[in-house]
Amino acid sequence: MEELKNIKVALLGSGTVGTGVYKLIERQREELPHKVGAGLTVSKVLVRDKNKKREGIDPSVLTDQWEDIITDDEIQIVVEVMGGIEPARTYITEALQAGKNVVTANKDLMAVHGGELLDIASHNGCDLLFEASVAGGIPIIRPLKQCLAGNYISEAMGIVNGTTNFILTKMTHEGMEFDEALALATELGYAEADPTADIEGYDAGRKMAIMASIAFNSRVTFDDVYTEGITNITAKDIKYAEAMGCTIKLLGVAKNTESGIEVRVHPMLIPSDHPLATVNDSFNAVFVHGDAVDDAMFYGRGAGEFPTASAVMGDIIDVARNIQFYCTGRIHCTCYKDLPIKKITEIESKYFMRLLVDDKPGVLARIADTLGKNEVSIAQVIQKNKVNDMAELVVITDLVLEQNFADALVEIKGMEHTREISTVIRVY
């Protein structure tokens, strides 16, 4: 039997995900030759401080010099798990230009510079795979690019941020307020020290940009995504939603319509019997609609050391198989269309609005009149509790143009008898 080939891998970064990948390669040592036809060895790990001890990682592979990796001709796969735009963008570019294949988990980078990097990969006949950049361990990019490649995908919708889903689950099941649930998420390690990217919807927005690009075969970048976070959601909103048979989730919504692509992330009321309504805690799920497959859903862990490493590892194994068959670059960028992207103001939504007004005759009529003038038609108005001299109103609209609703909102805010617009949430 001929000697088993050994494919050398470099890891850029040894944080949570990097360590997970390192451990998985060790754990799969006996299996890999059978799966890939070659062994895999991590021969270098790029770190900031190579003298710092890293549990489970052989210290002799650590380096703090990118030069050590980029000039090492034996390294065929570079795994970027450092995150952020720079120096990741430069390293990936240089690696691809040097003919090395790249696997990355970096959504910040792929959501902004994905197109450019995939072009460089194509020109150099290399793989650039990024399954872990969307919804962590859940297989979603490969299913879209391969399994569902015979479909026109018209919609991809999902819960793609575990931190906010954990917070909303705690608010829903345990009646916590946002701050309390966020504090718990931080304590349990589900939220980072600076949770902005999660709670403002930026993280979900990046994932939706990448997913929409693949689903619709047309490049969508993070700038194209409208994002709105969950910081204004209250336990009261959730109770009201429940009374209407709904659950509040932070949803990423991407649609391929005749007039262009819509991509947005915002809280949404969805019916409690919708499959996404029962996706709880830090779990993620992505719902896809295709003309052939109809509805399909993918569910699993969207973050964490091993779930994310699982996705990275799937990519590494795929690259290794391509290396064995001399077919790296086999699936290149699939954005071959150039579809227009709609502004949020051009999109139609249904709204749930909760507001406090003076409890006086004629106030409701004036609000209804203002909505009507702006072509916002009302599906339902519910008069809730009266507090002192104020009345709480809940208004549900029909499907209306976002711009029209925004205009109406400005007018209502400015009215003499409006005390407070408590919440505005879109409805599925």
For its own copies, the closer of residues 31 and 223 by Cβ is 31
Nearest alpha carbon to residue 135 among 12, 314, 260, 272 = 314
Among 295, 346, 375, 420, binds its own copies (CB under 8 A): 295
215 sits near its own copies (criterion: CB under 8 A): no
Which range of residues in 142-150, 159-167, 198-206, 235-243 is near its own copies by CB under 8 A? 142-150
Which range of residues in 143-151, 158-166, 238-246, 392-400 is near its own copies by CB under 8 A? 143-151
Total residues binding its own copies (CB under 8 A):
57
- List 301's β-bridge partners, or say none: 283
398 Cβ neighbours under 8 A, 6+ residues apart = 350, 377, 378, 379
- Write the CA distances from 149 to 221, 223, 372, 373, integer angstroms: 21, 26, 44, 45
- Interatomic CA distance for residues 71 and 63, integer angstroms: 13
Is 207 a catalytic site residue? yes
CB of 70 to its own copies, least distance (A): 25
Annotated binding-site residue? 162: no
Annotated binding-site residue? 128: no
Annotated binding-site residue? 16: yes
Contact 40, 75 (CB under 8 A): no
For its own copies, the closer of residues 195 and 314 by Cβ is 314
For its own copies, the closer of residues 148 and 160 by Cβ is 148
Whether the bond into 33 is cis, omega within 30 of 0: no
Binding residues for its own copies restricted to 308-367, rule: CB under 8 A: 309-314, 316-318, 321-322, 325-327, 330-331, 334, 336
Binding residues for its own copies restricted to 246-285, rule: CB under 8 A: 273, 275, 278
Q: Which two tokens stand for residue 370?
A: 């203002």
CB of 261 to its own copies, least distance (A): 16
Among 193, 194, 258, 292, binds its own copies (CB under 8 A): 292
Among 183, 184, 235, 296, binds its own copies (CB under 8 A): 296
Among 85, 297, 399, 410, binds its own copies (CB under 8 A): 297
Neighbours of 380 (CB within 10 A): 11
Contact 107, 207 (CB under 8 A): yes
428 sits near its own copies (criterion: CB under 8 A): no
Phi-psi region of 238 (alpha: psi -120 to 50; beta: other; left: phi over 0): alpha
* DSSP secondary structure of 306-361: HHHHHHHHHHHHHHHHHHHTT-TTSS-----B---B--GGGSEEEEEEEEEEE--T
For its own copies, the closer of residues 323 and 395 by Cβ is 323
Annotated binding-site residue? 172: no
Q: At residue 185, what is the residue type?
A: A
Q: At residue 201, what is the residue type?
A: G
Give the three-class secondary structure for 127. coil
19 sits near its own copies (criterion: CB under 8 A): no
Q: Which two tokens stand for residue 402?
A: 């976002």
Nearest alpha carbon to residue 52 among 70, 69, 64, 44 = 64
Annotated binding-site residue? 242: no
Which range of residues in 138-146, 165-173, 185-193, 404-412 is near its own copies by CB under 8 A? 138-146
CB of 327 to its own copies, least distance (A): 4
Among 294, 338, 389, 416, binds its own copies (CB under 8 A): 294
4 sits near its own copies (criterion: CB under 8 A): no
Annotated binding-site residue? 18: yes
User: Which one of 207, 249, 255, 342 is the catalytic residue?
Assistant: 207
Quick one: angle between helices 162-174 and 235-243, nearest 10?
Answer: 70
Nearest alpha carbon to residue 81 among 265, 303, 282 = 303
Q: Which two tokens stand for residue 112?
A: 């902004």
- Interatomic CA distance for residues 89 and 115, integer angstroms: 12
Nearest alpha carbon to residue 266 among 168, 394, 179 = 168
- Interatomic CA distance for residues 402 and 413, integer angstroms: 16
Mark the binding-site residues for NADPH, compressed into ranges: 107
User: Known catalytic residues?
Assistant: 207
By the criterion CB under 8 A, which residues form the site for its own copies?
A: 20, 24, 27-28, 31, 34-35, 131, 137-139, 142-143, 146-152, 217, 273, 275, 278, 290-301, 304, 306-307, 309-314, 316-318, 321-322, 325-327, 330-331, 334, 336
Mark the binding-site residues for L-homoserine, compressed into ranges: 192
Mark the binding-site residues for NADP(+), compressed into ranges: 12-19
